[in-house]
Structure 1
Amino acid sequence: MRICLAITALVALAACGGNSDAEIPGPVMFQHGSQGALLVANKRGASLSRLDIANGEETHRAQTCENPHELTVSPDGAQVMVACYSGTSVQVFTTDDLTPVSEIELGEQARVHAAIWLDDGRVIAGAEGRGSLFVIEGAGTGEPSVTEIGANGPPYAPGAHLLAVDAGGRYAWGTIIPTGEVVRYDLGEGAEAARRKVGEDIEAIALSPDGADLWVSSNSANQAYRLDPVTLEPRGRVATSDVPIRLAMHPSGEFVVSSNFGGGDLSVIDTETGEVVRTIPVSGSSDAVQVTLVFSEDGDRLYAAETATDTIAEVDFASGEVLRRLPTGPGGDGLAVVD
């Protein structure tokens, strides 16, 4: 199976901020024969749901730790890891029927919000409550090896809320919301390599496929920033809609899209020009509590978690049309697509 995850939406209708020469693929007609599954972490329900993409129905549900958040899938697509944001562990389940595989303890106050399963089998997990990063090897085997990078307590300083990792698995980046900082870790050296304050309430993060640009955004300033991934120095900024709480990079790297909690919409940024070329309305309201955003692997579909209404909006990339809403468990937030 092939996977598309998120840390990470795209274009459509409702023009915003003028015209653009960026080429946008033509519309793709929705087919009920679409394959794959959508995995959803239900943070109010302490559960994990598996939805059949073809018919939108929930096929399985499993109980998880309290307050599950981001999800990440193993390279072979067979397992999914749940970040236990209110606890001290991460949990692993099978993706076909959500059978529990393992629970990996990471230490007091770990509060892992996000983790990324790399192609080489390692998992990089941000321990927000410990101010550190964990490297987990053998996560799906029942005999994991765990290494901590950057522990600084107790008392602990705040750590990474969301993460990005380069394709080679050498560097990781994290956002520190209370301080507005972005941190770069050298995974090979097992140490923090750089840190810079970018703005206020910096949360969302996305790395370009070629690793040349790092994007982050400010929830309070309604801005997305393009950073040098090595020095973390800003290269540019662009205004988004209200509260750009997540960023998703299109598989092509040509666009990065913000999921806007405050506006219930998506801002589509052309990564070459650094301009917003479209705004895609989803619910159009903060009442939906729109948070996590992921692409299908081919980039044709976007899935936006509407946490307050227990639904996942499926959006056609090219047209910006909301094709349907898939019901999930209470507080569906963390998302992963398994094709």
Structure 2
Amino acid sequence: MIRFLLPIGLFLSACGAAQTAAPELGTSSAIGTMVVGNKGEATVSFVDLASGEERARLETGDQPHEVAISPDGTRAAVVSYGGTTIDIFDVASATRTETIDLSPNARPHGIVWTNDNRLIATTEGSGTLTVVDLSDNDVEAVETGQDVSHMVVVSPDLSRAYVSNIGSGTATVIDLENGRKLRDLPVGAAAEGIALTPDGSELWVADRDGMKVTVFDTETFEIIAEIGVGLGPIRIAISPDGSRGFTSNYGDGTVTEIRGSDHRVTRVLSISDGVEAAQVTILFSEDGERLYVAETGTDTVAELDVASGEVLRRIDVGRQGDGLGISPVVIETD
């Protein structure tokens, strides 16, 4: 653990103290509910996107780092990174309906809810990728053979999963149809942020310590591009139309915009107030017009207007709000 946690400590000493920005007020045309895993207090927030108001806050398992929304938008899955479970919540009623135990697989983190009703999660503590069939809660796991398997994305045809491994500096390719590992792709010092283009043809992986993004062709596994970005790129989000991608740069509170057509950096936007904001997860709205940025150090989520690059508002959530999911469902009122 020392190996990959050390650079974050270096960010703190290198960047110095920063003042937390005051919340910006505003409303949004967005409709639906944002679900936020508050890893510092073992809760999940349900936020009405139109008003920015938190409508409910419920208990979860230990360290709810990441969130996945069901394909129909009605449910949210929240991992317990400090344990072995995944909690399922009904969004409309903001209630926990089920807890799934993944044992002996441990420390679930990155998670995807697939269109065929499976949960696919990295289980970092056991060095596995765990697959849960929600029709019968059958649990199967594939060993990654890598160190600190942290985040996961799944191809549009559901045939493959790609896992970023921080400690090994690689991305693992897993055949989901046959439940076996195919290969490891070298990325750099600390592979963490990971994303697929909407058509599944390109895999983007961020080297957090190397301050770069490597783009792979998913047919040949050849490197298409290597792109220098900001300090500590910890997450990647690609727009729904594939025209652009953003890295969340933990070390300086910026996001770097990369054009999808030629992999060139087009903008660097200052979103959060330096490293003390602890900017982590980023997530596009379904229409691609907004980018939501989790600021775990200030217990807020910034809403960015993608076209203008302006922060429209900051939404208050629980302590160290990190994992984000957006549902089109609006929470029921009394």
TM-score, with length taken from structure 1: 0.86
Q: Which runs of 5+ in 1 are unaligned?
A: 1-29
> In 2, are the aligned partners of 1:38 and 1:52 still within 8 Å (CA)?
yes
- Residue 319 of structure 2: which of 307, 330, 334 is its match? 330
SS at match of 2:126: coil
Please tell me whether residue 118 in structure 1 is matched to residue 111 in structure 2: no
Structure 1 position 123, deviation (Å): 1.3
> In 2, are the aligned partners of 1:126 and 1:159 still within 8 Å (CA)?
no
> In 1, are the aligned partners of 2:292 and 2:304 still within 8 Å (CA)?
yes
Per mean C-alpha deviation after superposition, the further-off stretch among 41-50 and 101-110 is 101-110
Amino acid at match of 2:138: S
What CA distance in whole angstroms lies between the structure 1 residues aligned with 2:132 and 2:93?
24
Structure 2 match to 1:197: 186
Structure 1 position 135, deviation (Å): 1.3
Structure 1 position 239, deviation (Å): 0.7
Structure 1 position 303, deviation (Å): 0.5
Structure 1 match to 2:13: none
- Residue 240 of structure 1: which of 229, 232, 242 is its match? 229
Structure 1 position 34, deviation (Å): 3.1
Q: Residue 253 and residue 243 in structure 1: after superposition, are their counterparts in 2 closer, same or farther (change >3 A)? A: same
What CA distance in whole angstroms lies between the structure 2 residues aligned with 1:32 and 1:129?
39
Structure 1 match to 2:65: 69
Please tell me whether residue 181 in structure 1 is matched to residue 170 in structure 2: yes
What CA distance in whole angstroms lies between the structure 1 residues aligned with 2:254 and 2:144?
37
Listed as ranges, the matches of 1:228-307 within 5 Å are: 228-307=217-296
> In 2, are the aligned partners of 1:87 and 1:109 still within 8 Å (CA)?
no
What CA distance in whole angstroms lies between the structure 2 residues aligned with 1:32 and 1:83?
28
Structure 1 position 109, deviation (Å): 5.4
What CA distance in whole angstroms lies between the structure 1 residues aligned with 2:299 and 2:307?
25
Q: Residue 32 and residue 223 in structure 1: after superposition, are their counterparts in 2 closer, same or farther (change >3 A)? A: closer
Q: Residue 202 and residue 190 in structure 1: after superposition, are their counterparts in 2 closer, same or farther (change >3 A)? A: same
Structure 1 position 159, deviation (Å): 4.8
Q: Which of the pair has the greater relative contact order for Cα pairs under 8 Å at 6+ separation?
A: 1
> In 1, are the aligned partners of 2:148 and 2:168 still within 8 Å (CA)?
no
Structure 1 position 281, deviation (Å): 1.1
What CA distance in whole angstroms lies between the structure 2 residues aligned with 1:93 and 1:137?
17
The structure whose residues are more often helix, as a share, is: 2
Per mean C-alpha deviation after superposition, the further-off stretch among 40-49 and 105-114 is 105-114
SS at match of 1:291: strand
Structure 1 match to 2:38: 42
Q: Residue 221 and residue 33 in structure 1: after superposition, are their counterparts in 2 closer, same or farther (change >3 A)? A: closer
What CA distance in whole angstroms lies between the structure 1 residues aligned with 2:28 and 2:241?
25
SS at match of 1:129: helix
Percent identity of equivalent pairs:
37
Please tell me whether residue 147 in structure 1 is matched to residue 136 in structure 2: no
> In 1, are the aligned partners of 2:148 and 2:167 still within 8 Å (CA)?
no
Structure 1 position 284, deviation (Å): 3.9
Please tell me whether residue 85 in structure 1 is matched to residue 81 in structure 2: yes
Q: Which runs of 5+ in 2 are unaligned?
A: 1-25, 329-334
Listed as ranges, the matches of 1:97-136 within 5 Å are: 97-108=93-104, 110-136=106-132
- Residue 297 of structure 2: which of 308, 324, 335 is its match? 308
TM-score, with length taken from structure 2: 0.87
Amino acid at match of 2:113: W
Structure 1 match to 2:306: 317
